[in-house]
């Protein structure tokens, strides 16, 4: 089950199937995509993703999957990849609170989120060696980019899972904290972002995506920054930010 609530310009998306560690079947993927669509249509200014129960998301729900008839391409390429692309392109800053198992598709959900706070007890890695399957949902790209080839293949071959502390120390995600603090930290960060200069955040979000996907050089990235800054000059928040600085007061951003 996927729950969506919206309050104070923040969407709260909750994976709510704790009995199966929030593993995702085809229906859950569709419901998760619909939640992001509804949040976008509501023009929220930030989004928080989290999971109920002992885990963030243990990956695909394979309880009833028959390997002989499993439509792997349909599930991953037809459902998971479009969902992750939708999440990554969400038109506002996104935050995730991750705890417990964050595996397979669950890891992909984190990869597709802008900022990830993880509990020190989180479990992150590639458990697929025991299934005869392979890491999916963007895991190879993330691990190789942040960990290098040797550590990536070590994790894949052995099935060893990193703690949240190790994952953050390795540069995978943003911050690590105690399990009972991670949800509040993500919600506080989302609330702050929802009162910030949304268009400037989106300019940075889109540029970071270009640097990642297009491998922009330093000077191409600088050129893109220059274009973004010129475009932001015409926003209400840019003018408000400068006025507030000059008048020595706190800015009141509207996201426009």
- 3-state class (DSSP) for residue 184: helix
| Arithmetic mean of pLDDT over the chain | 94
Q: Give the pLDDT confidence score for residue 68 in this predicted structure.
A: 81
Residue 45 has pLDDT above 90, yes or no: yes
* Six-digit token string for 15: 């994976």
Tell me the pLDDT band of 197, cut-offs 50, 70 and 90. Answer: very high
Query: Cα(79)–Cα(85) distance, rounded to whole angstroms?
Result: 10
- Within 10 angstroms of residue 140's Cβ, the number of other Cβ atoms is 15
Q: Give the pLDDT confidence score for residue 128 in this predicted structure.
A: 86
pLDDT in tens, 207-224: 999 999 999 999 999 999
Q: Where are the domains of the chain?
A: 2-194, 198-246
- Within 10 angstroms of residue 96's Cβ, the number of other Cβ atoms is 29
Q: What is the pTM of this model?
A: 0.94
The secondary structure of the chain in percent helix, strand, coil, rounded to multiples of 5, reads: 50, 15, 35
Tell me the pLDDT band of 134, cut-offs 50, 70 and 90. Answer: confident
> What is 2-194's CATH superfamily?
2-enoyl-CoA Hydratase; Chain A, domain 1 (3.90.226.10)
One-character DSSP codes across 127-176: GGGGTT----TTHHHHHHHHHHHHHHHHHHHH--EEEHHHHHHTTSSSEE
């Amino acid at each position: 089950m996927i729950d969506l609530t919206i309050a104070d310009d923040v969407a709260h998306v909750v994976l709510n199937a704790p009995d199966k560690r929030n593993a995702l079947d085809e229906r859950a993927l569709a419901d998760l995509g619909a939640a992001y669509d509804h949040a976008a249509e509501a023009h929220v200014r930030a989004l928080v993703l989290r999971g109920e129960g002992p885990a963030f998301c243990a990956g695909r729900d394979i309880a009833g999957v028959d390997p002989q008839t499993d439509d792997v391409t349909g599930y991953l390429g037809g459902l998971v990849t479009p969902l992750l692309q939708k999440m990554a392109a969400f038109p506002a800053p996104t935050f995730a609170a991750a705890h417990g198992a964050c595996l397979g598709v669950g890891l992909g959900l984190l990869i597709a989120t802008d900022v990830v706070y993880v509990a020190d007890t989180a479990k992150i890695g590639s458990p697929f060696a025991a299934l005869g399957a392979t890491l999916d949902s963007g895991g190879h790209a993330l691990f190789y980019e942040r960990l290098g080839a040797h550590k990536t293949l070590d994790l894949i071959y052995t099935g060893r899972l990193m703690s949240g502390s190790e994952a953050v120390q390795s540069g995978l995600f943003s911050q690590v904290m105690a399990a009972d603090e991670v949800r509040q930290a993500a919600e506080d960060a989302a609330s702050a972002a929802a009162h910030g200069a949304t268009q400037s955040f989106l300019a940075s979000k889109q540029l970071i995506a270009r640097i990642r996907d297009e491998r922009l050089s330093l000077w191409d990235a600088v050129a893109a920054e220059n274009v973004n800054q010129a475009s932001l000059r015409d926003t209400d928040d840019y003018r408000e930010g400068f006025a507030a600085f000059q008048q020595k007061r706190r800015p009141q951003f509207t996201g426009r």
